[in-house]
Each structure stands twice: as structure tokens, then as C-alpha cells.
Amino acid sequence: MDVLFRNVRELVERAENEGKLISELMIEQEMIISGRSREEIFTQMDRNLRVMEEAVERGLKGVQSVTGLTGGDAVLIQNYIATGKSLAGDLLLDAVSKAVATNEVNAAMGTICATPTAGSAGVVPGTLFAVQNKLNPTREQMIRYLFTSGAFGFIVANNASISGAEGGCQAEVGSASAMAAAAIVEMAGGTAQQSSEAFAITLKNVLGLVCDPVAGLVEVPCVKRNAMGASNSIVAADMALAGVTSRIPCDEVIGAMYRIGQSMSTNLKETARGGLAATPTGKAITHAIFEGGDLKSLLKSRVSSN
Amino acid sequence: MKFTSVFDIIGPVMIGPSSSHTAGAARIGRVARDLFGRQPKWVKIHLYGSFAETYRGHGTDVAIVGGLLDYDTDDERIKTSFAEAEKAGLQFEFIPETANRAHPNTARLVMGDDESEMSVEGISIGGGKIEISEVNGFKLRLTGGMPAILVVHDDRAGCIANVANCLAMHKVNIGHMEVSRIERGLTALMVIEIDQNIDERILSQISYIPHITKVSKINN
């Protein structure tokens, strides 16, 4: 198959040699592969962006998952931002709340756009809508943000994995965070090389992250990991824009992520047999949800005992 | 390359909570229905690996049944697919397996009605993308991302050429093709990825070619 880039090195080299944005190369490659016009491709991505906007909006109004295990945290964080007392800063926490909002909608079986997966769907839109307030992008730039994220995700998916069952959470929230970091850099006017540095810095920070969903649900710890992912990407993007580089090249970090995923026990890869899922509370939650226990009082007793 | 489109990464638009366990599962169900050619009356859904361990939490069960009812990944009815299946006269059963398959997210659907039976094995490789890995015992690799036809035929000289000629006559371009057989001289399977969806008329013409026993298609 004819592609413009197979790894990050080729992507950055091409961007530099041809004086093009990473998003532009992703669009051109999609045109080659799908045989569709630029306009059709933009229209489809615009539709995905709209789904993301609607999900955040819905999550910020407050949702509850079917189990009652997650929901409502995005609202709490927004209310906290409004008090003006936040330590992390408004932009960072705004990204966190919007990432959480999206993933709470996902947990509630709402409509979302997988980026790159559903379990990690909060990070890319969460960061996008937060930096939007600071950078004031055009609609086209917002759509390009998704193409830039997609270019890096494309490389990870083909050279490593974006599946929790295959590679652990590092492959899902890890990939999503790194994709978002690279896209933030482009939107902020950074170079293609800086995008790749941001990507590498972000992914390095989550190597080895296990996928251990309590009761096998995409709720705990997934929702809060999207918050962690969103903040990770914003910090890494800022670092790259400041001129910080990764000592380990981007493609090698992706390779390391893949090998780490391969050597992780299956108990830690979306089977709900290890990690948080195997804690006493994790098991009690599983029992309550699937064998008719009382989840409400279980959650309440945990809150009061802490 | 397993992932070809940017929309494999930014997308699909879907009902939560899991791209591989919900959206991918719905797609496996839908492609299986396409290959069967109509909605089956009954289906036994064997789940392996992570699918077997966590299918209830991920909505993998409602998603596969939704796919068998022809729902897309973003169809709200996925949530209530069990009730819809009852209305539509589709009986289903889930069988979590302990055996290991090559991929951790694997489902094998054995389905049928009064006329025929079929088994389809699919894997969900991440981000909602799937591959069909086995049909009626034949190993194959089909992504479901392209329109395709599957032709079961006797393992005789000329069969492949006749099918290719029929497609050529209708100006249908072949993108990728695989032929496999369980044993020489017995039954074989052609998997043909094509550039555009084809109508029932062409399908039925292919089915009249000598030594062709069954033809099914996947639209995209």
C-alpha cells in the first residue's frame, strides 16, 4: 500500500522537506487511500468533531452510568473551577473536566467518537476544547487538530497497538494523550519536530500503564485516567514548545510501548483479573453489579470509611 | 498495514463504552449477518479471551446482537437489542470459552435458520476495527473495511477464472483476492475484495456458475 509515512521519522521529515503541516499530510494520505475528495474527508471529520462537542456538552450537564459507578465528576470539577481556587490553573482543569465529561458519557453508553478508542475518547476532545479558549482556532484548525492526532494514532496503531486487551492502558489512554500533545503543539504554532517531541514525552510517562477495569466496565479507573491523560498531554506540549526534547526518539518509544505491552501479564490487559479489578473493593463492586449485591450502600460505606 | 484510514483512529462514532468490545463487537455481528445473507433465526455466540471475561460489562453481548439485527455502531437501539431481537425472532445464546485464541478479543458466531447454517469467527483488533478470521472452518483475513464477496466452490480448475470473468463483465474491479481450501479436490473458498458494492443480480449470476455452491457479500 502506498502511504506517505509509516513512522514518526518519515512523517516529520516529509513535513519539514515539503513545508507542510502534519495534519495536511494526514489529509493527503487519506485522499490517496480512500480515493475521496478533500471536501468529503473534511466533512466526515467535521461530523466527528460535532459528536465530540455534543458529548462534552452532555457530560457537563451531568450523566450517570447504568451501574451508577461513574458520572457527575465533570460537573464537580467545573464547579470547582468557578470558585477560582484551583491550583492547577483553569485551562488544565478545564481540559480535565471535559475529558471526564466525554468519558462519563461513554460509560453511560452515550454517543461518542472513539479517539483512538472509546475508553480513551475523552483526552483528544478534552484538550481540544480547553486550548480552544486560549488559542482561538478557526473551525478548520480544530478539524486539523483531529487529523494531526490521527496521524500519530495511525502510526501507533500500525507499529504497536491501540487496544487495551493487546497493550494495556498505555496503548489506549497513553496513545490518546500522546496524540493530543502532538496536536496541541501544531495548533499552538510549534514545528513538526516539536509535535514528535511532545508525543514522545507524553507516551514515555505512561509506559507500562495496565488496563485493569473494575468489573470489566469502562468506568473505574478509565474515566479518571482520561483526566490524567489530558493533563499529561498539555504539560508535555508546553514542554516541547519550550524547547525540551525527548532523549529517546519517538519511534523508539512507540516500539518500547509495544514490547512492554507484549510482556505484560494478560491479567493486566482488560481481563479484569488483576490490578484495581482484583482489589477487595474491586471484587465487591463486581459482585454487587453482576450478582445482585447492593452497589449503592457499598459505595456509600466506602466513602464514609475514608 | 492493519489500519489504513484516519477514521479508523478518529472514529468510529459509536455508542459507548468500548471501541473494541462494543463497536468492534457490533461490526462482527453485522458482517456475520451480511455473510449469512439475511437475519438468522438462531445464533450461538462463543466468546474468547477478554471478550469472554468482560463481555457483560462492555455491552459486548448487546452489541453483537445489535450487529446481527443490522445496527451500525452508533445505533441507539444497541442498548435495547435483546428486546429487539425477541421481536425480530432472533434467538441467541452466549457461551464464554476458556480456550485461548490467537487474538484476545475473539467471537465465533454459529448461526442458522431452516435453510442453512454458517459459522463466522471475528476478531476485534482495537479502535473498533475488526477482521474476519474464519468462515465455515476456512481460515481467512477479511477486514470488513472494503466491499467483498465470499464464494464457496468445488476445488476444480476454471472456477476462479469463471468468477473473475463474471466480475470483469460487470466492470467490477478486484482489489485483493485469497483462495483457500481445506483439502485438495474438495471444497474451496474465494475471498474477493472489490472496489464497489455489487447488487444481488451479479451475486445470483455468480451462484449459477458450475461448481459454485454458495455466494455471500459484505457491503461497505
What is this model's ipTM? Answer: 0.95
Give the pLDDT confidence score for residue A293 in this predicted structure: 79
What pTM, to 2 d.p., does this model score? Answer: 0.91
Give the pLDDT confidence score for residue A73 in this predicted structure: 98
For residue B7, which residues of chain A lie inside 8 Å, CB to CB? 30, 44-45, 48, 150
Please give the DSSP secondary-structure letter assigned to residue A293. Answer: -
Residue B132 has a CB neighbour count (10 Å cut-off) of 24
Residue ranges, chain A, pLDDT below 50: 306
Q: Tell whether the model's pLDDT for residue B181 goes beyond 90.
A: no
For residue B21, which residues of chain A lie inside 8 Å, CB to CB? 218
How do the residues of chain A divide into helix, strand and coil, expressed in percent and rounded to 5? 70, 0, 30
CB-CB under 8 Å, B9 with A116 = yes
Antiparallel, parallel or unpaired: β B42-48 and B91-96 = parallel
Q: Is the peptide bond before A221 cis (omega within 30 degrees of 0)?
A: yes
> Is the Cβ of A112 closer than 8 Å to some Cβ of chain B?
yes
For residue B49, which residues of chain A lie inside 8 Å, CB to CB? 165, 266, 271
Give the pLDDT confidence score for residue A304 in this predicted structure: 57
Show the cell assigned to A276.
484495581
Give the pLDDT confidence score for residue A1 in this predicted structure: 63
Q: Is the peptide bond before A249 cis (omega within 30 degrees of 0)?
A: no
Q: Greater confidence, B138 or A256?
A: A256
Give the pLDDT confidence score for residue A128 in this predicted structure: 98
Distance CA A109, CA B17 (A): 5
Distance CA B46, CA B66 (A): 16
Give the pLDDT confidence score for residue A294 in this predicted structure: 84
Give the pLDDT confidence score for residue A305 in this predicted structure: 55
pLDDT in tens, B49-74: 989 988 888 889 999 999 999 999 99
Q: The cell 455489487 sits on which residue?
A: B198
Q: Tell whether the model's pLDDT for residue B144 goes beyond 80.
A: no
User: Residue B2: pLDDT band by 50, 70, 90 thresholds?
Assistant: confident
Longest dimension (CA), chain B: 50
Q: Which of B1, B2, B4, B6 to mutate to test the interface with A (most CBs of A within 10 A)?
A: B6
> Is the Cβ of A162 closer than 8 Å to some Cβ of chain B?
yes
**pLDDT mean over B132-142:** 90
Q: Which helix (H) or strand (E) holds B176?
A: strand B174-181
